[in-house]
Copies of this chain bind each other. A is one copy, B any other.
């Protein structure tokens, strides 16, 4: 069983052990591109339509051409078929600004990486689910809070910060995870300069109190979460009260439970936050099942 499946946006299956990207791809040179990470389960890409809608939103934030969603859908289908349905997989959709100066005669082709590049690079890559995922789903994770250094008020007024876009420029997110690991933690929660909760480096934060779920609103500069949204949709059906509201680090301490939601790990309960232990309350026990149902729903791209 191959541990890599690679499909380019023309729906061609490629040898993942052969190089794909040119040395001058602006995605590689500048992290200038966008991506989505999708769980493959039972041969299907979970909540694919929501991921496609978010990909389009990220493209707009970066002033990339609008993605050809039909082409992406088809490439994902080809990749999912090649991966098979007997094990989960991590499917990534990667779209970069393309090669530097791809059109030397055009207005963009001045060798200037900041200019528009008409030919984006797009591909779908499937890899195995990381080992950490099973443990995170079953036992939860330990987390530390880290300052992002930004106010939760800047997203609207400083569009160049690309808050809420899922860009390939994740070096600081990766550094935050390494920092957390050095502190003995599995993951991190970023906080704003106002000590409000933002998000994890690769997840949304949801707190639970009784039958209420709360997550920070997108206007605070967080990436809108697809797994969080799937949870909210199912939870509302099941009678929960689901809210988009800002809350403080202190609210984490007094919550009944805290969850990091992400497309591959799904629902990871925080079992330790900055050294404080949390047990799983009975009232939160159904959350993972709600997430499982939510991501398996038939979503449409207009649900975004």
Would you give the 0/1 interface string for A121-145, flagging 1 where the beta carbon is closer than 8 Å to chain B? 0010101111110000000000000
In the complex the two chains form, what is the Cα distance from A25 to B19 in whole Å?
10
With known contacts A35-B29, A169-B170, A174-B32, A21–B24 Cβ distance under 8 A: no
The stretch of A150-158, A241-249, A255-263 that contacts the partner chain: A150-158
With known contacts A16-B22, A21-B28, A62-B175, A111–B90 Cβ distance under 8 A: yes
- Chain A: interface residue total (CB-CB under 8 A): 74
A103 at the interface (CB under 8 A from B): no
B178 and A167 within 8 A (CB): no
B21 and A174 within 8 A (CB): no
A209 at the interface (CB under 8 A from B): no
Residues from chain B with a CB closer than 8 A to the CB of A56 are none
B111 and A30 within 8 A (CB): no
The stretch of A92-100, A266-274, A296-304 that contacts the partner chain: A92-100
A162 and B158 within 8 A (CB): no
**Closest B residue by C-beta to A153:** B149
In the complex the two chains form, what is the Cα distance from A29 to B151 in whole Å?
27
A63 at the interface (CB under 8 A from B): yes
A147 at the interface (CB under 8 A from B): yes
A76 at the interface (CB under 8 A from B): no
**Closest B residue by C-beta to A21:** B21
A171 at the interface (CB under 8 A from B): yes
**Closest B residue by C-beta to A14:** B23
Q: How far is the CB of A173 from chain B (nearest CB, A)?
A: 8
A146 at the interface (CB under 8 A from B): yes
A178 and B63 within 8 A (CB): yes
In the complex the two chains form, what is the Cα distance from A187 to B304 in whole Å?
35
Residues from chain B with a CB closer than 8 A to the CB of A100 are 127
Residues from chain B with a CB closer than 8 A to the CB of A173 are 30
Q: How far is the CB of A236 from chain B (nearest CB, A)?
A: 33
In the complex the two chains form, what is the Cα distance from A129 to B168 in whole Å?
25
Residues from chain B with a CB closer than 8 A to the CB of A23 are 4, 6, 14, 16, 20-21, 94, 123, 125
A110 and B125 within 8 A (CB): no
| 25 A-B pairs with C-beta separation under 8 A | A4-B24, A18-B19, A18-B22, A19-B20, A24-B125, A27-B28, A29-B94, A29-B170, A30-B31, A30-B168, A30-B173, A31-B31, A31-B170, A32-B174, A62-B171, A101-B127, A101-B128, A111-B130, A114-B174, A114-B177, A149-B149, A160-B176, A162-B172, A167-B169, A169-B170
Q: Which residues of A contact B (CB under 8 A)?
A: 3-4, 6, 14, 16-25, 27-33, 35, 61-63, 90, 92, 94, 96, 100-101, 104, 110-114, 123, 125, 127-132, 146-151, 154, 157-162, 167-179, 181, 188, 193
